[in-house]
Amino acid sequence: MLKKSLLFWLILSPLVVVILFPFGVMFVTAFRPREELFTYPPTWTFSEFRWANFAEMWVKTNFGRALLNSLYVSVLSTVLAMILSIPAAYALSRYRFPGKRAYRTFLLMTQMMSPIVLVLGLFRMMVTLGLVNTLNSLVLTYAAFNMAFTIWMLQSYFSTIPRDLEEAAWIDGAGHLTSLLRVFLPLAVPAMAVTAIFGFINSWNEFVLALTMIRSSDGFTLPVQIYSQVAGRYQIEWHHVMAATMLATLPVAIVFSWLQRFLIRGMALGAVK
Amino acid sequence: MFHRKVARLAASALAIGLLAGSAFAETTVNFTVAEYSSKTGPFYKQVAADFEKANPDIKINIEVVPWDSLLQRLTTDIAGGTPPDMSIIGTRWLLDFASQGVAEPVDKYLTPEFKGTFIDTFMKPGIINGKTMGLPVAASARAMVINTDLYNKAGVKPPKTWEDLYNASEKISKLPDTFGFGLQGKEIETDAYYYYALWTFGGDILRPDGKSGLDSPEALAAATFYKKMIDKGLTQPSPTNYSREDVFNLFKQGKVGTIFTFPMLIPQIKAEAPNLHYAVLPFPIQKTEATYGVTDTLMLFSSSKVKAAAWKFIEFTYQDKYRKQFDLGEGFLPVTKNIAALDYFKNDKDIAGFAAGLPYAKFAPVIANWEEIADTTVRALQQIYLGQVSPEDGLKAAAKKINGIRGL
Amino acid sequence: MNLSAGFKPLAMILPGLALAVLIIGYPIYDLGYASLHEVSRFGQFRGLNGLTNFRDVFQDPLFYGSLIRTVIWTFAVVGGTLALSLPIAMMLNEEFYGRGLARVIIMLPWSISLTMTAVVWRWALNGRAGLFNATLMDLGILKEPIEWLGEAHQAFTVEILIGILVSIPFTTTIFLGGLSALPQDSYEAAAVDGATRWDQFRHITLPLMKPFINIAVVLNVIYVFNSLPIIWVMTEGGPANGTDILVTYLYKLAFRFGQLGKASAISLIMFGVLMVFTIIYVLLVMRGEAGADAEE
């Protein structure tokens, strides 16, 4: 076991190093005093932990506001996508109906359009709907773009839940709805949670649509807010950029590492079909 | 339970939206601000707040947009039928805005008195077919900045001609881990870095007949000169990996003798490389003296329904106290006469060094499809710097393509 | 078994379908409309101009260069990702000390947005100010700093490697899910029969993992083909268009040069390419599955 562990870590080590490298860069740049950004040759060490970088950045980049915006958009779009996906996935896994294959094909096709390609049309539509510059425009679009994936995941998972259980409850005299709520739902909750995490991460990191739809900086989500610190300015304050990136990444990374075992378990149970 | 929460959330979000909408039923002016630095947004928000206090019936809605995505944002806005009422744009885009009927001529709002506050040089690029399409809002002129420590160490004098620069760079490059000349070859303004040479060699971006000047002997001489410096190891290696910012970073590290840059770099050097000694000088000369004047324009959209209110705000922002705060904060050259007369702009050695070029400054030509023409130039330069084509072939091909874009 | 069919399932898929049709269907229609019209610098429709936009695209040498690079980019990133993710997933599926930590680390790139990953790498790969070269030089691996992004081929290779790096977490997750669902008894039986590990891999793991691999291929191809941030942030398709793929070229055309008609045409062509790929892939590789699908 020990030998195997060492061997595995040895094989994985190059990848581990490459993965951790950008995080290391982020870390040392974020804490560095500004005067030490451009020493030559560049070094991993620096004279002191400049915590003030974070405080300055928080104020300068309006970080708190962007954080709330990101949370609002990611949570609501995930909830919306789930509300719409669960019945659709249930229908796909339990019923035979006309146009089922066409519907599946349509879902796959919706994945093929990059948001960048559609940005102009989407914008025109949001103008018609009066939703430009509202976070709700992002909620709708993220939900729509995530739905294909969430439906697919939920459906493959639902198919693994034995139908006999529902039937049994049904025969016992429970109504269809009751059997759904009592028998099916509790079994499906883990899968829903896993699927929701996928949706959440996609929304949390999305950039192009947020950049286009949100016009005032009060509505910026985190990726846009951070990007605006880098893009085309006469001056880039790298220590602030990296501090912001770190703060935006850390919570997700922590939650993620805690949840990843559920992710994999969900995938396994979902036994992709 | 869960659903109820969501419903409540949605309802409260809706309520907030309604409140925000109804509390200000007065005129709202939407103003898109390009973000020069982290100071830009707060500055305009403060000016807007002052203005709203003085004019309670007008609300200014500031939208701060990063420069890199400004053109994309305005394109989507216009395509979607929701352009702002006014915006800061690059003057190089102005003709596209004007010729598509997107920009509103402002002559009828411009009182002689207000017009008189501006420096004429900076008004000119905004005049198209005799109509003033916008006001200068930010200006910079470019200059050469040298690392005096390196020059002293190598025992050479600050260069006056390109020949001087070449010789000095040769000596400085011999110092350990040091390069004589920082050459930009990547992304925004790669073409500008070449225009500095093009102009001082006596060439121009366009010939008098409107065709591209890239296939002129002067243009060839300038490109060949840069290429020779690359080949002889007088520049940093692989200029095509160095964006504007990367070249300046190299300078802040004290690793390069000479760069061409804008005034906004000076405060950065002071903050990030406090021990660096430098001097701001005019560009080296071959045939003529020149510098690149760059302005940004404040324009009014023709589709705006609140032009009068927007104009009122525009005049408000040009008060001396705001202009002073803006120019000093961002490190721009003044566009108004009163600010230019301030001691700071006369006595500060660095600023004076940049401002010195203004009388003979050249501006990017105000022509349609400028971005595409610039991109064609950059592509040719990168091919030349990389050695994929000879300077002659590269420039000729680029000139031909540009003439095609120009429809000539 | 089928519960009562009829309108119920349709009612269940309808709300989601409506949203998808609205949000994704309408812009596609808009795109098709724009591709057949002359579109002004700022997206206002002028007159119908037939297939002029498409003709412009096919006469543009830069389009073909970008098309070829898109194919290389997609195949290299997806191929590299699959080739690395499967062994990684197989290792992470076995018990060993620190497996939890290893899983967390491998998944980590997922938690930063692509844009930010690219920004950090660009900053780190900088020839003289970047920590990548500095570290390699400290370790004695490099003598001179290398300008990783200075020349197109090298820059493109670097971008592909980073593309692989950020695609690994998603793919590995799919594979791990698949691996942990594999029936253990067939391995035990194979072991009794004296099969080597390689035999086990070829005859048991690979066939059973097929559906997972298929879905990983289709989804990754779609995502990678359409992926803008890495190339855009690191090189903007340069130097001299040498790292332009269709998405970056399209972005330039649409939002820098204002050639919205031509850009719409390229979008549709891209959509067509992906669709043809998917159809071929489904026909060739996922056939068996399609059969299973019909049985439901």
Verify whether the Cβ–Cβ distance C150 to B237 is below 8 Å.
yes
Average pLDDT for chain C: 85
Q: A-B interface: how many C-beta pairs under 8 angstroms?
A: 94
What is the pLDDT, as a whole number, of residue B9?
45
Q: Is there a contact between A12 and C102 if contact means CB atoms under 8 Å apart?
A: yes
- Decide the pairing of beta strands B131-132 and B127-128: antiparallel
Mean pLDDT rounded to a whole number for chain B: 89
- Would you call C153 an interface residue with chain B, using a CB distance cutoff of 8 Å? no
Q: Which residues of A touch B (CB under 8 A)?
A: 34-35, 37-40, 60-61, 76, 79, 119-120, 123-124, 126-127, 132, 134, 136, 211-212, 215-217, 227-237, 240
- Specify the range with the lowest mean pLDDT, choosing from A80-84, B81-85, B344-348: B344-348
Residue B208 contacts A, CB cutoff 8 Å: no
pLDDT tier for residue B170 given thresholds of 50, 70 and 90 = very high
Inter-chain touch A116–C124, beta carbons under 8 Å: no
How do residues A126-140 score in pLDDT, each as one tens digit? 888 888 788 999 999
Q: How many CB pairs under 8 A join A and C?
A: 283
CATH number of the domain within which A110 lies: 1.10.3720.10
Instruction: Report CB contact under 8 Å: A264, C29.
Output: no
Rounded Cα–Cα distance for residues A164 and B71 (Å): 59
Which residues does chain C have within 8 Å of residue B96's beta carbon, measured at their own beta carbons? 41-42, 258
Indicate yes or no: CB of B241 within 8 angstroms of CB of C148. yes
Neighbours of A16 (CB within 10 A): 16
> Which residues sit opposite B362 in a β-bridge?
B292
Q: What is the mean pLDDT of residues A33-44?
A: 81
Selecting from A38, A61, A232 the residue whose C-beta is nearest the C-beta of B253 gives A38
Confidence (pLDDT) at A114 = 75
Establish if A110 belongs to a structural domain: yes
Q: What are phi and psi of B277, to 5 degrees?
A: -100, 130
Q: H or E segment at B90?
A: strand B86-90
Protein fold of B26-140+294-363:
D-Maltodextrin-Binding Protein; domain 2 (3.40.190)
Measuring CA to CA, which residue among B292, B291, B364, B303 is closest to residue B93? B364
Average pLDDT rounded to a whole number, residues B341-351: 87
Does the CB of C229 have a partner CB in chain B at under 8 Å?
no
CA distance C71 to chain B (A): 22
Residue of C nearest to B242 (CA): C150
Q: Which one of C113, C210, C233, C289 would you mutate to disrupt binding with A, by most A Cβ within 10 Å of its Cβ?
A: C113
**Closest partner CB to C113 (pick from A4, A163, A205):** A205
Alpha carbon separation from C237 to A173, C109, C223 (Å, rounded): 65, 23, 18
In this predicted model, what pLDDT tens digit does every residue of C126-147 receive, in sequence order? 888 789 998 998 898 888 888 8
Compute the distance between CA of residue A176 and CA of residue C108 in angstroms, rounded to an integer. Answer: 42
Tell me which of C110 and A73 has the higher pLDDT.
A73
Chain B partners within 8 Å of A235 (Cβ): 37, 264, 267-268
Among the partner-chain residues C147, C252, C258, the one whose CB lies closest to the CB of B75 is C258
Q: Do A43 and C228 touch (CB under 8 A)?
A: no
Query: Could you say which of B75, B102, B382 has the minimum Cβ distance to residue C239?
Result: B382
- What's phi and psi for B141, nearest 5 deg? -120, 155
The enclosing H or E element of C167 equals helix C152-180
User: How does pLDDT run across B239-276, given as a tens digit for each residue?
Assistant: 999 998 889 989 998 999 999 999 989 988 988 889 99
Residue B13's pLDDT band, with cuts at 50, 70 and 90, is very low
Burial C263-294 (b: 16+ CB within 10 A, else e): bbbbbbbbbebbeebbeeebeeebeebeeeee
Cβ proximity of C148 and C132 under 8 Å? yes
B80 touches chain A (CB under 8 A): yes
- Does the pLDDT at position B3 exceed 70? no
Nearest CB neighbour to A223, from listed C13, C84, C115: C115
Pairing between strand B291-300 and B361-363? parallel
Lowest mean pLDDT of A102-116, B382-396, C92-106, name the range. A102-116
Answer yes or no: do A234 and B264 touch at CB < 8 A: yes
Cβ distance A35 to B67 less than 8 Å, yes or no, reads no
B102 to chain C: which residues are within 8 Å by CB?
42
DSSP for C242-279, please give it.
TT--HHHHHHHHHHTS--HHHHHHHHHHHHHHHHHHHH
The torsion angles phi and psi of B362, rounded to 5 degrees, stand at -105, 150
Helix or strand (DSSP H, E) at C165:
helix C152-180
- Rounded to the nearest angstrom, the minimum Cα separation between C131 and chain A is 6
Contact B271 A35 (CB under 8 A): yes
**Is C238–B382 a contact, with Cβ atoms under 8 angstroms apart?**
yes
Distance from CA of C50 to the nearest CA of A (A): 20
C195 vs A219 pLDDT, higher one: A219
C71-126 tens-digit pLDDT: 999 999 999 999 999 999 999 988 899 888 898 898 888 888 888 899 899 889 98
Give the nearest chain A residue to B10 (CA atoms). A76
Chain A contact probe: residue of C19, C24, C252 with most A CBs at under 10 A:
C24
pLDDT value of residue B98? 92
Torsion, CA B299, CA B303, CA B309, CA B310, rounded to 10:
-20
Residue of A nearest to B77 (CA): A123
Chain length of chain C: 296
Alpha-carbon distance of B96 to B100, in angstroms, equals 6
Whether C234 contacts chain B with CB within 8 A = no
pLDDT of residue B374: 94
| C250 contacts chain B (CB < 8 A) | no
Q: What is the pLDDT of residue A233?
A: 66
Q: Which architecture does CATH list for B141-293+366-406?
A: 3-Layer(aba) Sandwich (3.40)
Q: How far is CA C60 from CA A47, B404, C63, C180, C245, in A?
A: 54, 13, 5, 49, 14
Per-residue pLDDT at B20 = 43
Burial B237-270 (b: 16+ CB within 10 A, else e): bbbbbbbbbbbbbbbbbbbbbbbbbbbbbbbbbe
Using a CB-CB distance cutoff of 8 angstroms, which residues of chain C are in contact with residue B248? Answer: none
Chains that touch C (3 or more CB pairs under 8 A): A, B
pLDDT over 80 at C70, yes or no: yes
Mean pLDDT of B384-395: 95
Note the pLDDT tens digit of each residue in C36-68: 988 888 877 888 888 889 998 999 999 999 999
pLDDT at residue A1 greater than cutoff 90:
no
| Facing residue for B253 by CB, picked from A40, A227, A236 | A40
Please give the pLDDT value at position B326.
Answer: 94
What is the dotted CATH code of the domain comprising C62-295? 1.10.3720.10
Q: How many domains does chain A have?
A: 1
Q: Which residues of C touch B80 (CB under 8 A)?
A: 43
Q: Report the residue from A120, A252, A272 with minimal CB separation from C178.
A: A272
What is the reported pLDDT for A121? 81
Which domain, by its residues, includes A73? 63-270
- Write out B218-269 in H/E/C secondary structure: HHHHHHHHHHHHHHCCCECCCHHHCEHHHHHHHHHCCCEEEEEECCCHHHHH
Domain(s) labelled CATH 3.40.190.10 in chain B stretch across 26-140+294-363, 141-293+366-406
CA distance C278 to chain B (A): 31
Query: Is residue B27 within 8 angstroms of chain C, CB to CB?
Result: no
